[in-house]
Structures are given as C-alpha cells and as structure tokens.
Structure 1
Amino acid sequence: MRERRRLRLGILALVSVVLLGAVPLFFGLRALSHDPVFDTLDGLRVPAWAAVTTVDNVSGNRWCFRECRLRERTVESQRAPKETARAYEQALAGDGWRRWKNSRCPERPVEGSFTCWRRDELTLELWVREPVCTPPPIDGSPAPSPAPSPAAEKCTGSLVSVKVRNAIDDERTGPQPTKDPSLTGVDPFPTFADDPLDESAPSPS
C-alpha cells in the first residue's frame, strides 16, 4: 500500500510539473512566433474590398540584434488607389497613428499615394498605387501585344504596401546632416600662398 501511495504521489507530482512547465512554454513560443504588430494591422477598420488578399513578410529580430525587425504587408484592393488610400488613412488615424511629415518620405519620387505615420515606438509607411497587371516575361524578351478583345479581363483595383519598423532603427527619426558649407569647419590642411620655405637658400660666399 505504501509503495502504491508513493507511486501515485510521484505520478501526480510529475504531471503537475509537466503542466506548470508546458503552459508557460506554450504561450512563450506563441509570443515568439507571432508578431503583435500584425495583430494591430489586422485590427484596422478598413472595408472588406480594401483587403482582399494579404501577404505578410518579416525580417530581422525583435531584439534588434544586428538587424531590427521589419514587418511588410502587401494587400490587394478591389477599388481605385485614391479611394483605397483614403480608407487606409482614415483607419490609421482612427487607430491612433499620427501623420508623420518628413522630407525623406518617400526617399525618392514614386507613383501613387505615399504617406508616413508614427505611433509609440513604431513608424509606418503606406504606399497605394496602381496594380501590376502585366508581369514581365521570364526570358526578358518583350511580350507580344495581342489583339484587343472585349472579353479580356480588365486590370482594376490597387496594390497596398505597408512597412512597419522600430523608430530607433529608422534613420529618418534622428537629426539630419546639414549641407550648409559655413558649418563644415576650418580646413585642417590649409594652403599657404606665400611659402617661406619656397625661396632658395643663399649660397655661402
């Protein structure tokens, strides 16, 4: 009887240890594998037509070891870029994002609507433009132009790109280098017009 009681107590203790360790391990792995930023993007109140197909991509790590985490989301919308951009901008403003006006937003001129946003420790780029309807040929040769057909599928809708990164990893959040030539300092190697050593030394008489 004593051996059975000890065996039962041992089994109960082992089960308790496993359960107490498995539950935190489960939630820990779940937190590591799932990014809360995408939950925030999923919570944006955009119409169903503005988020037909969604593709997510993640690079870097959340601890900013060598490279901070970059979240990228590509969404297909069924309506025009202007209407789609208006829907996303209203959703971002309603979710606490603030419009961020920066001279480097965008870095270079792009087609469509490109806006930047900030919220807490995050920065967000929103780019809405026309969809890519004709993919480039694989071999690089120009694709033949077929005869127009009324039954041909029309290229409509728009393409949405969202990039979210940590503000400390966004170089646009820090001070920008000045281009004022008056603030460049003094030339450490000045050039003298009259060099006293340039004259030849007098020859001894």
Structure 2
Amino acid sequence: MLVNADLSLRALVTPHQYQWTASPQAGVERVMLDRMGGEQARATSVVRYAPDSCFPHHPHPGGEEIFVLSGTFSEGHKHYPAGWYLRSPPGSSHQPSSAEGAVIFVKLWQMQPGESRPVRIDTRDVSRWTVRNGRQCCPLFADDIEHVRLERMPAGAIVFSGPVDGAEVLVVEGSLRERAQAYERGSWLRLPPGTYPDLVAGSSGACVYLKTGHLANPVSLAAASC
C-alpha cells in the first residue's frame, strides 16, 4: 500500500480529511498519513483506541515513535496520558492498550538501525521546556540525522525562520495558517526542502510537533530490517 509515499513531495492531511480504517485488532482504528507497505510498513498514522481495547504483545523491528494526543495510552502496567512522548528503538516490543480510550500519533519503521535508547518524556513537565526568542521548546529527541521537538509559539510567529531540509509538522494545539489556508488542531504537513515564510501560528497561537532532518536520510523497510 502506498499513501503519500513520495517523500520528496509536499503532503497535507487535515482532520476534515481523516479516513478512519480498521486495524487488524478490534477497537483500534487508524488514519494513514503516509505509508509504504502492508501491515509491516514504513508508516505515519493517527491511531484511535476505543475504551478497553488492546493489541497482543508484539515486536517493533524498525522501532516506533508515539505522541499521545488524548486519553491514556498504556504499555503493560505503565500508563501514559496525553502529552507523553514515547520512542522505542528497533528490536523493542510491547503490549499496548487503553482502558479509557486514546488517540495517538504513531511513526513506524523510521529509526536508524543503530538506535538503541528508549525515550519516555512527559511534556507536561514544565522543567522540560525552555524559552527562546519568544517561543517555548520541549526537545524530544536528537541525533546526527533528525531532531524532534514540541514548540509553542504566539500568534503570527513564523514556524521556520529559515530554510529547512524537509520537515514534518503536526498541530497539537491551536492552529497554523498559510496565506488563506488554516490548519487546525490535528492537521499534519510534510514539507520538502525549502523556505516557508507564510507558515505561521494562528490567531490563538500554536503548539506543534516538529521533526526535521529525517526526510533527507529516510530509512527504508529493508534497511531497518537488517
């Protein structure tokens, strides 16, 4: 299956365009934002767990990155409310579930094969945030290739002050706008290398998930399997 599979092209999915499809597990649905492959795929998705739904224990040979958008996501006896960032390296495994229901942002098979450190960050912890140039930043992950962070910015702030070597943006709170188009909470953009001076925070400001660097060095499913 191919969904927004050409990483060199711009892609956009807004909440009005969400198409929920069933997963192999009852009670778990997903919106495919981009995807290359079948059930084992390089994929970016929004995943919705109904209350009391779960997956059986399973491995993630290519790693998994999760940001909890609403509800509470669980791994075994560990529970992660909205705002938690989870990064599980290649070769990890877990048994995900949600007692109350949850919506999560998920990226699969997109980590470098040598990554080995699990990450668990509660972005509600104010000590995780720094302030610079009028905006707040919560670093989530960084290596020689990619940088992942949350940023809170005031109304009218430009998301990218200069050129970017490709980027992914998920609107977590507030909204973004670009000329006449508004991107509300839940909108996902994938941007090829370039400059984006017209992409700014909306009238109430915005909190966004930002990932940069990874599109210039994409990990293939075959490479992640090695």
Tell me the TM-score range normalised by the shorter chain: under 0.3
TM-score (norm 2): 0.22
More helix by percentage: 1
- Say which one has the larger Rg: 1
Instruction: Give the structure with the higher percent strand.
Output: 2
